[in-house]
Structure 1
Amino acid sequence: MTANDTSPLAQVTTPPGLPVRLAPVRMTGRQRLTMILLLTASFTLAVDFSILNVALPRIGADVGFSLEHLQWVATAFALCAAGFTLFFGRVADLFGRKRLFIAGMALLGAGSLAGGLATDPGLLLAARVAQGLATAAVTPAALSLLTTSFPEGHVRDKALGLNGSLMAAGFTAGAILGGLLTDLLSWRWAFLINIPIVIFVLVLAPKLLTESDRGQRTKLDVPGAVTVTLALLLLVFGLATAGEKGWAETLAWGPLAAGVIMFGGFFFIEKNTAHALVPVDILRRNNIVWGNIAGILAFATETSLVFVLTLYLQQVLGYTPLGAGLAFAVLGIGTVVGGVVAPKLIGKHGHKNTIITGLTIQAAATGSLLFINTGQASLVIVLIATFVGGVANLAAIVGFMVTATTGLPDTEQGLATGLTTMSQQIGITIGIPVMSTVIAASLLRHGTSGAAPGTVLNAVLAAIGTNAALCLFTAALVGIFLNNRDRERI
């Protein structure tokens, strides 16, 4: 359409500076295959976040991990996944998303094979580091390939909705799949199951994916990349330590303080370099800042609620790890439903209102869990609340993804999706330590660290109340500070 076009479509009025939102366009066959390929990779990486959690005790016995160091099987993955995601997001912009996506999937395959064959702690940790680095590379590359494969509007919203629902469902599915594989086969299959998926992706990716337009070839901002990566590593390490040993531990608040200082140094570097990793201008965009803040807290609240309810189901109601994992199947269904519904809500009400509504309903669903007790009938409340909360949380997550990737050129989509991926992984990482601290404080207040069902229930209820309050607080922040500059609705 040219500037002089006088067709009725061209005469649709929109707010200054905002693009016209055209009528929905159907996906082509190639776009559908591309979406399936990218979503398969993203779902697999999401599953890897949680697939080993229920198997950790058995892994420790087989490989020789002491109980106090078992958490590093999960933390090594989270450190690399969160710490390097922004760096790889920018690398994708400059050197090619398709290349980085394929290289990252190959690294995932190598790490999964090493983990499946590991017989000592060192090799197992190296495998988890490789999986974390692969996640940091593939996730922003896949998401930016997804956003650049579809124009802004209904089709992109639908693709992002499916991506968000599958990634959130993957976190839940990982717990279920990990329990099944560990009980029926071996924990090693939690690694080895990735290999046929990697082969599938590596065979099809060169044929289906189109290399992205790369940004102007410049030197990579090495000082900025090193500074922000170290800052994120310190942040994740400090939060993981706080969840394990408490906030009074020097190894918790020390790295957190150092991480904050390094973030300040990173901002200073970016203001004074011509080829910034994250141009300061993008951090001044209202939708980028508040969209990502909403994303961090949306992921933090829902994933940490899974942790809290796992304690409740196992230590209060007496479920096995596999039984607890299966109880979260309704949450997985809810997230899929939320991903399907979210684009329609965004098209009708706008992404800001979708985020606010999603977080508010999530808060109400979480708040209903304050009525659970030591009786088995409470499982009904858990199932209903997690389903409703899953739908609402996914609507908020898709709203955040649309908000934080809108209004940027294709050459900056890797940066934008790197930021959203970083927000997702920071949210997943910080939620559990925060809830662990609330639970530990409650147990200490009652003068016991034991596992009596009544005592654990009181601690769980304190964490649930905190979780619901965080949802409402986030909705209020978005309502006050996020500009309501939605695209023209259909």
Structure 2
Amino acid sequence: MKEARTQPEPEAPRVPRPGAALAALAAAQFTVMLATSIVNVALPQIRAGVGLSDTGTTWVVNAYGLAFGALLLAGGRAADLLGRRPVLVAGLGLFAAASLSAGLASGPALLIAARVGQGLAAAAIAPAALALALAQFPTRAGRGKALGVWGAVSGAGGAGGVLLGGLLTQAGGWPWIFYSVALGAVLVLAAVAALVPDAGRPEPGRFDLLGTATVTLALTCLVWGLTGARGAGWADARVLGALGAAALLLVAFAAIERRRPYALIPPGLLTTGRVAAGNLLMALLGSVWIALFFFLPLYQQQVLGSGPLATGAGQLPLAAANMLGASLAPRISRRLGVPATVTGALLVEAAGLLWLARISVDGSYVADILGPSILVRLGLSVAFVQLTALAVDGVPQRDAGLAGGLVNTTRQVGGAIGLAALATLAGSVTAHTHRPPLEALTYGYRTAFTVSAAILAATALLALPLTRRTRRAEPGAAAPRQDRTTDHAPAT
């Protein structure tokens, strides 16, 4: 009797390795950060190319940041409810289209509209990509490494934007900065489609349209008012009106959320783990971070006389320091504990800023910028990784996209507040200092760096009590939590 032949079992579908998926998702984050900084050194050429006014030139930068910061919460919640991978893919597609439109723009209106489109797409990409990246690594150690990569590419994207912007502007003209971003988004989209697995079914729930509209409008008014204050001053009626409207809308948002069955920000989110502490400290870090890399290129170009390409090339050692710090952050945290790691990183960054406060008119890149900037980048990268981990500490998987959107929002809003305040302070000091123009300008920058160092020192003191563990994760959290008796790594 012949033995029955058994049919071979079908091969299980290949699941991409987590490392490959993380590389694709980190590339998405890199692209978002690249678009934030790539226009900075090309603004004079963009202004001449499309006929922008002084105000219009400012909005080439502000339009992206405004849309990005205002829509991050909505983007994060959409990723949770509609599916993180579909939202990420759609965001990358829109990002590529908006970037191409910006490069083809022949007038101010189309260019600024395209930058708004980039910001809207980035608000979908950033939280969805972070949630997907964390989902690839369920263990605490794996997530620490993933967040280290995340911090490295975030810093490298900002530095790479300055370098690439200077290189492309000098070699091919300003439209190529947008063409390169469009091409990068298409390549990342292909990598995500091939390497990032589906995260499963979207979480059940309804989209909180009223709450989302209210908080988005509030954040729009807030960021618009803060960016407008840099040019018009804090006493300007439009600035005061925008800030007042933002305050009223945020109060209305809080009242709305208390009664919504599907609130945009669930009531327990900010009391989970150390989410509130991570977001507060990230806002304070962001207030200094964005301002720092606004003033440094200005000092290099306006005082030291460096060109766009030289200014961009000067970012390479800083990017390397950022990648080193981000990669070491999980290891340092395991050895020293979260409170000591965050506090130490903030103090290292504050020391670098105090060193930068010694810049002079007769200085140079090597003598005045390189050393302190490397110190700042090391501290910044370690703090960024740890605070991102705290901001998703113990968050249930169903809210991972929202938590990613929230921490990005606090960083953006904190940056807008800090940049507006520090730019106003530096401008006032420069205007009221009876010195030659370049000396007065340098003195304004030195004041901004000194105040930034003081803010970080105060943040470091806050970090000691705030980053200590207070409670365990709630059931259904995205990752296992460590025991209360030890606190050597963030539980995410």
TM-score past 0.5 threshold: yes
Which residue matches 2:19? Answer: 32
Deviation at 1:205, TM superposition (A): 2.2
Which residue matches 1:60? Answer: 47
1:470 aligns to 2:455 (yes or no):
yes
3-state SS, counterpart of residue 65 of structure 1 = coil
Report if the CA contact (8 A) 1:330-1:386 is conserved: no
Deviation at 1:216, TM superposition (A): 4.4
Which residue matches 2:97? Answer: 110
3-state SS, counterpart of residue 32 of structure 1 = helix
Cα 1:152–1:269 change in 2 (3 A) is farther
Report if the CA contact (8 A) 2:332-2:341 is conserved: yes
Aligned counterparts of 1:141 and 1:216: Cα–Cα separation in 2 = 13
3-state SS, counterpart of residue 186 of structure 1 = coil
Which residue matches 1:129? Answer: 116
Alignment counterpart, residue 151 of structure 1, candidates 125, 138, 143: 138
Alignment counterpart, residue 340 of structure 1, candidates 312, 319, 327: 327
Report if the CA contact (8 A) 1:101-1:137 is conserved: yes
Deviation at 1:411, TM superposition (A): 1.1
Report if the CA contact (8 A) 1:86-1:422 is conserved: yes
Which residue matches 1:259? Answer: 246
1:93 aligns to 2:48 (yes or no):
no
Which residue matches 1:5? Answer: none
Which residue matches 2:395? Answer: 408
1:229 aligns to 2:224 (yes or no):
no
Which residue matches 2:287? Answer: 300
Q: How many residues align?
A: 461
Aligned counterparts of 1:67 and 1:114: Cα–Cα separation in 2 = 22
Deviation at 1:100, TM superposition (A): 0.1
Which digits, 9 at most, give the CA deviation of each residue in 1:149-208, with x for residues without a partner?
111411111111111121122112211111111011111111101233222223232332
3-state SS, counterpart of residue 193 of structure 1 = helix
Deviation at 1:29, TM superposition (A): 6.3
Structure 2 spans left out of the alignment, 5+ residues: 1-14, 471-480
3-state SS, counterpart of residue 371 of structure 1 = coil
Report if the CA contact (8 A) 2:338-2:468 is conserved: no
Report if the CA contact (8 A) 1:351-1:402 is conserved: no
Identity %: 34
Which digits, 9 at most, give the CA deviation of each residue in 1:338-373, with x for residues without a partner?
111111112222223221111011001111122222
Deviation at 1:403, TM superposition (A): 0.7
Which residue matches 1:165? Answer: 152
Cα 1:196–1:107 change in 2 (3 A) is same
Aligned counterparts of 1:126 and 1:113: Cα–Cα separation in 2 = 12
**Please, what is the CA RMSD of the aligned residues?**
1.9
Report if the CA contact (8 A) 2:91-2:125 is conserved: yes
Query: Normalising by structure 2, what TM-score?
Result: 0.90
Which residue matches 1:479? Answer: 464
1:80 aligns to 2:67 (yes or no):
yes
Which residue matches 2:164? Answer: 177
Which residue matches 2:305? Answer: 318
Which digits, 9 at most, give the CA deviation of each residue in 1:247-277, with x for residues without a partner?
1222223212221221121111111111101
Aligned counterparts of 1:327 and 1:402: Cα–Cα separation in 2 = 30
3-state SS, counterpart of residue 107 of structure 1 = helix
Aligned counterparts of 1:29 and 1:286: Cα–Cα separation in 2 = 31
Deviation at 1:215, TM superposition (A): 5.4
Which digits, 9 at most, give the CA deviation of each residue in 1:372-422, with x for residues without a partner?
222235642310110011011110010101111121221111111111121
Report if the CA contact (8 A) 1:339-1:394 is conserved: yes
3-state SS, counterpart of residue 210 of structure 1 = coil
Which residue matches 2:37? Answer: 50
Aligned counterparts of 2:299 and 2:347: Cα–Cα separation in 1 = 24
Alignment counterpart, residue 177 of structure 2, candidates 184, 190, 197: 190
Aligned counterparts of 2:312 and 2:87: Cα–Cα separation in 1 = 33
Structure 1 spans left out of the alignment, 5+ residues: 1-27
Report if the CA contact (8 A) 1:352-1:399 is conserved: no
Alignment counterpart, residue 422 of structure 2, candidates 428, 432, 435: 435
1:420 aligns to 2:407 (yes or no):
yes
Aligned counterparts of 1:372 and 1:59: Cα–Cα separation in 2 = 29
Deviation at 1:142, TM superposition (A): 0.2
Which digits, 9 at most, give the CA deviation of each residue in 1:203-233, with x for residues without a partner?
2323322232455422211111001101111
Give, as a single letter, the amino acid of the residue that structure 2 aligns with 1:400.
L
Cα 1:41–1:118 change in 2 (3 A) is same
Alignment counterpart, residue 460 of structure 1, candidates 436, 442, 445: 445
Which digits, 9 at most, give the CA deviation of each residue in 1:4-33, with x for residues without a partner?
xxxxxxxxxxxxxxxxxxxxxxxx961111
Which digits, 9 at most, give the CA deviation of each residue in 1:28-68, with x for residues without a partner?
96111101100111101101001111111111111121123
Alignment counterpart, residue 56 of structure 2, candidates 69, 73, 79: 69
Which residue matches 2:315? Answer: 328
Aligned counterparts of 1:201 and 1:323: Cα–Cα separation in 2 = 28
Aligned counterparts of 1:378 and 1:217: Cα–Cα separation in 2 = 54
- Counting only pairs closer than 5 Å after superposition, residues 372-411 of structure 1 correspond to structure 2 as 372-377=359-364, 379-411=366-398
Cα 1:266–1:447 change in 2 (3 A) is farther
Deviation at 1:78, TM superposition (A): 0.8
Report if the CA contact (8 A) 1:440-1:459 is conserved: yes
Give, as a single letter, the amino acid of the residue that structure 1 aligns with 2:174.
W
Aligned counterparts of 1:388 and 1:40: Cα–Cα separation in 2 = 25
Which residue matches 1:14? Answer: none
Aligned counterparts of 2:338 and 2:402: Cα–Cα separation in 1 = 20
Aligned counterparts of 1:349 and 1:299: Cα–Cα separation in 2 = 24
Which digits, 9 at most, give the CA deviation of each residue in 1:443-479, with x for residues without a partner?
232268xx72111111111111111011111111222
Aligned counterparts of 1:315 and 1:120: Cα–Cα separation in 2 = 27
Alignment counterpart, residue 270 of structure 2, candidates 265, 280, 283: 283
Report if the CA contact (8 A) 1:227-1:266 is conserved: yes
Aligned counterparts of 2:201 and 2:398: Cα–Cα separation in 1 = 6
Aligned counterparts of 1:372 and 1:125: Cα–Cα separation in 2 = 35
Aligned counterparts of 2:431 and 2:320: Cα–Cα separation in 1 = 36
Aligned counterparts of 2:156 and 2:214: Cα–Cα separation in 1 = 33
